[in-house]
Structure 1
Amino acid sequence: MTSATTMTAALGTEHREQLMRLAREVSFPSGARLFEEGRHADRFWIIRSGTVALDLHVPGRRAAVIESLGHGELVGWSWHFAPYVWQLGAEAASPVRAHEFDADAVRAMCARDPDFGRAVATWVGRVVAQRLQASRNRLLDLYAPYGSGVRG
């Protein structure tokens, strides 16, 4: 993930402080599932430490790990768009400490403060675009005859 999609890079100081007022600290042991694809998206996280693997259900196969996220990165974007259903799954690949946010509270704050809402929407939009590209590349690597062509 590029630095432009971390909270620190995406949100100005005032908007970061606004968002962080809603944060609560949580932790997950290695192997814990944060969420499952297709279930209701009612929260999101910003990683403080550890690694979270995003995965995609592939019928007849093991879930494909799409991307690994680390410090400062947003885990979950589906909470921002109706019908609020997770598009991927997520699992702690190592012990994780994170800030957790209630989606309803953040969406309400976005509605009350249009500047904050626009900043959050732009941030989440960048994350969605980056995750879409990562998903495309990973699926091509796994299933296309010549892979994605991206050299890592």
Structure 2
Amino acid sequence: MRLNKFNFIKNSHHEFYELKENDLIKAEDRLGFRFPKELREFYLEIGYGFIRGNKSAINRFLDPATITDITLREDIYEFDPDLDDIYEDEDRLVFYEVNEGVYLTLDLNDTDKSSVFFFDKKIADSIEGFIKKVDQNDRYFEDMED
């Protein structure tokens, strides 16, 4: 892990909360697998929280416990119809909430870097690339051509 890989996102424009490694491990134990390497790095270096931008959007890096609830379809996500299409592809992991019921996913088959998807459209080759783009324009992916 490269220390301070995500340091550029630590600024007054965003709001992140520290995450203890133990909380990450608890979520992984519930899931039965480890989070992708790059997501783990982000969590341990930055945490989870909000990218500030469009005031009408949530723009939230989900915490590990919420990702686990979504993946396992537990708690408030048990009957969430917005998740039905996402989990037709079991190789995707929700990690970011754009707006209520609109999520970004990671490709679980990637090893070192995690490709980021907006529905079926690949919008970044890595979490680092995604963060750099979203830090400049939180809605950049909505206007990308197929």
Larger Rg: 1
Please give the TM-score of this superposition, normalised by the length of structure 2. Answer: 0.25
| Relative contact order higher in (CA < 8 Å, ≥ 6 apart) | 1
Task: Say which structure is richer in strand.
Answer: 1
